[in-house]
């Protein structure tokens, strides 16, 4: 999704920016919605927040959600399998790791959705490349330079970086900004480990306004200037949020507990940041996995449970959803050092009061493995991302499909999600904007399977009034203008259908008085 923009044009745009930000506003030739007004920018549900927990190293899914009734699991792992008698019973033949007591309580309260067998085609087993894939929302054979969360934030802050919002657009607890927040128009993440220390480091600092030189080093200097500018702008906001906010109970003294405690304070302190990223490493369990994995999930379970209780105590839990991800799962068979090596599919957890709760999908089929003896994925990780974007953060289907360069069907994760596992759809048609239509309206639609389509306007008696487009469309997101002046005032039907018979309609009203 590289933007086409000349160095001259983006340097000119930088002249009006404080601090010499090194990235301009890119045009989007050939992309739908490049000129969508801000009112159509896909604004999220007001106040909704996503907290992402990254499990660094590759979490072993089979010892997290345990197939306790499957003899193949125990034969593949004679030394590291979790005994069924020790595990925490979920549904049917599924069990949680015994260290996940807090997560089990949230699950029983209907606040945890577990998605089994999450992965993607042709999985990569390199920590670095696999992490990049998950952070960019790409296919294994596609290298993107923009993060999926950054692309989402571009829809929410379409004037960035010309206009900087009052509050950070994304916050990451750590030291190095995740690729998930990076885009060609700028870096959307603000990264720090401690809000007070962060404020002290940048308090009183200034950023020069000189444009970076027209060299490769100039690009790097421009990046550093943008980081400095953003940090200076948001340091006071972050410290104020941390000072005004509170925790209603004591968080675990672990790194993850400290991170989630800070996130809770910032949320309760009035920060309007929609996405937070926290992390916990140590999941690369090649040796002596039993103890290490147990400690990791005990840490996560205690920190997340405290976080959810804290949010509930402060009447904030309806706004916040937590999602976990790891770059890959582990092999089915244990290795010679009582650990597991890099594998493929693994479960993901989505946690919160607005989550539907329960299991999505069955246990992995240990008989049906790939040529390497690894698990075959059932659900694409971008289905989980798409569901979170649409049903929690409020992004529409067309923009979600555009963001991931394809349609990934939602899963039944939230109370407002689909109720059953999805069937593939070929088309999406958004409500026109504006509606009622006085002069003109923007019609937006998506095509998820290459099709011959017809987009047309009919009167209430079913008579064809105008054909807006007829012909073959490749997979993609599209827009077309409707001239309301061609119609008499009244009610009409906007229809989109393909050669396979799928049809979507929207009611429109035209007012030419």
For domain 49-404, is the CATH number 3.40.50?
no
| C-alpha of 87 from chain center | 30
What tokens appear for 188 in the block? 């959307």
Residue 25 CA to residue 145 CA, distance in Å, equals 16
In this prediction, residue 214 has a pLDDT band, given cuts at 50, 70 and 90, of low
Of 131, 71, 115, 177, which is closest to residue 356 (Cα–Cα)?
A: 115
Residue whose token pair is 């200034």: 206
Q: What does the H/E/C string look like for 193-205?
A: CCHHHHHHHHCCC
Tell me the per-residue pLDDT of 332-345, one tens digit each, with 9 for 90 and over: 999 999 999 999 99
Query: What separation in angstroms does the CA of 105 have from each of 264, 302, 306, 351?
Result: 20, 11, 12, 12
Q: Taken in order 458, 462, 465, 467, is the CA torsion positive or negative?
A: positive
Tell me the per-residue pLDDT of 438-493, one tens digit each, with 9 for 90 and over: 888 889 888 878 889 999 999 887 889 999 999 999 888 888 999 988 899 988 98
Confidence at residue 230, expressed as pLDDT on a 0 to 100 scale: 57
In this predicted structure, which of 257-271, 290-304, 383-397, 446-460 has the lowest mean pLDDT? 446-460
pTM of structure:
0.74
Average pLDDT, integer, range 371-395: 93
- Phi first, then psi, for residue 387 (nearest 5°) are -65, -45
Of 151, 118, 173, which is closest to residue 393 (Cα–Cα)?
A: 151
- Of residues 183 and 225, more confidently modeled: 183
- Phi first, then psi, for residue 7 (nearest 5°) are -60, -40
Tell me the per-residue pLDDT of 58-83, one tens digit each, with 9 for 90 and over: 999 999 999 999 999 999 999 999 99
Average pLDDT, integer, range 203-229: 51
Say if CB 486 and CB 466 are below 8 A apart. yes
Judge if 49-404 and 427-510 fold alike in CATH terms. no
- Phi first, then psi, for residue 226 (nearest 5°) are -65, -45
Identify the H or E element spanning 464: strand 464-473
Angle between helices 216-244 and 195-202 (to 10 degrees): 130
* 144 C-beta neighbours (distance < 10 Å), count: 19
State yes or no: cis peptide before 161, omega within 30 of 0. Answer: yes
Residue 473 CA to residue 64 CA, distance in Å, equals 43
Question: How does DSSP classify residue 486?
Answer: G
Pairing of strands 65-67, 94-96: antiparallel
Residue 481 CA to residue 312 CA, distance in Å, equals 45
What tokens appear for 498 in the block? 């393909």
Q: Where are the domains of the chain?
A: 49-404, 427-510
* 360 C-beta neighbours (distance < 10 Å), count: 24
Confidence at residue 199, expressed as pLDDT on a 0 to 100 scale: 57
Local structure of 157: helix, strand or coil: coil
Q: What does the H/E/C string look like for 93-125?
A: CEEECCCCHHHHHHHHCCCEEEEEEEECCCCCC
pLDDT at 229 over 80: no
Length of the chain: 513
Average pLDDT, integer, range 147-155: 96
Local structure of 149: helix, strand or coil: helix
Residue whose token pair is 């999220």: 44
* CATH annotation of 427-510: 2.60.40.1930
- Of residues 224 and 375, more confidently modeled: 375
Residue whose token pair is 């360069």: 405
- Phi first, then psi, for residue 304 (nearest 5°) are -70, -40
Of 207, 135, 119, 143, which is closest to residue 177 (Cα–Cα)?
A: 135
pLDDT at 220 over 90: no
- Of residues 157 and 219, more confidently modeled: 157
- Tell me which range, 205-214, 282-291, 393-402, is most confidently predicted by mean pLDDT: 282-291
């Amino acid at each position: 999704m590289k933007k086409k923009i000349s160095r001259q044009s983006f340097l000119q745009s930088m002249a009006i920016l404080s601090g010499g930000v090194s990235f301009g506003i890119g045009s989007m030739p050939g992309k739908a919605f490049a000129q969508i007004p801000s009112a159509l920018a896909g604004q999220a549900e007001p106040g909704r927040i996503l907290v992402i927990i990254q499990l660094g190293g590759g979490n072993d899914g089979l010892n997290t959600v345990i197939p306790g009734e499957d003899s193949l699991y125990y034969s593949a792992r004679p030394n590291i399998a979790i005994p069924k008698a020790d595990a925490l019973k979920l549904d049917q033949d599924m069990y949680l790791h015994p260290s996940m007591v807090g997560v089990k309580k949230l699950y029983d309260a209907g606040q945890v959705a577990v998605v089994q067998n999450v992965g993607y085609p042709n999985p990569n087993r390199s920590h670095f490349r696999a992490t990049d894939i998950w952070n960019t929302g790409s296919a294994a054979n596609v290298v993107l330079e923009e993060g999926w969360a950054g692309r989402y934030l571009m829809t929410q802050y379409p004037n960035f970086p010309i206009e900087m919002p009052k509050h950070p657009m994304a916050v990451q607890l750590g030291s190095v900004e995740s690729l998930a927040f990076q885009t060609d128009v700028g870096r959307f993440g603000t990264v720090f480990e401690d809000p007070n220390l962060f404020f002290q480091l940048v308090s009183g600092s200034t950023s020069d306004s000189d444009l970076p030189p027209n060299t490769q080093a100039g690009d790097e200097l421009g990046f550093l200037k943008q980081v400095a500018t953003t940090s200076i702008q948001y340091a006071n906001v972050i410290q104020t949020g941390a000072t005004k906010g509170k925790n209603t109970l004591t968080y675990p003294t672990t790194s993850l507990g400290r991170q989630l405690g800070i996130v809770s304070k910032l949320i309760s302190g009035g920060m309007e940041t929609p996405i937070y990223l926290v992390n916990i490493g140590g999941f690369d369990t090649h040796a002596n996995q039993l103890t290490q994995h147990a400690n990791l999930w005990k840490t996560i379970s205690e920190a997340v449970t405290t976080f959810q209780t804290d949010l509930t105590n402060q009447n904030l839990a309806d706004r916040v959803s937590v999602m976990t991800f790891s770059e890959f799962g582990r092999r089915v068979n244990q290795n010679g050092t009582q650990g597991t090596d890099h594998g493929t599919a693994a479960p993901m957890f989505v946690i919160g009061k607005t989550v539907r709760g329960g299991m999505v999908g069955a246990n992995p089929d240990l008989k049906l493995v790939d040529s390497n003896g690894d698990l075959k994925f059932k659900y694409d990780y971008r289905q989980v991302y798409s569901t979170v974007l649409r049903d929690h953060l409020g992004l529409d289907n067309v923009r979600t499909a555009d963001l991931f360069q394809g349609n990934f069907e939602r899963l039944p994760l939230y109370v407002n999600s689909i109720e059953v596992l999805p069937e593939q759809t070929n088309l999406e048609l958004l409500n026109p904007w504006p509606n009622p239509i006085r002069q003109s309206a923007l019609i937006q639609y998506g095509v998820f399977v290459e099709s011959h389509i017809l987009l047309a306007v009919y009167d209430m008696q079913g008579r064809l009034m105008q054909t807006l487009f007829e012909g073959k469309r490749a997979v993609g997101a599209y827009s077309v203008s409707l001239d309301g002046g061609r119609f008499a005032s009244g009610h009409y039907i906007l229809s989109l259908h393909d050669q396979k018979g799928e049809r979507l309609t929207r009611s429109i009203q035209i007012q030419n008085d």
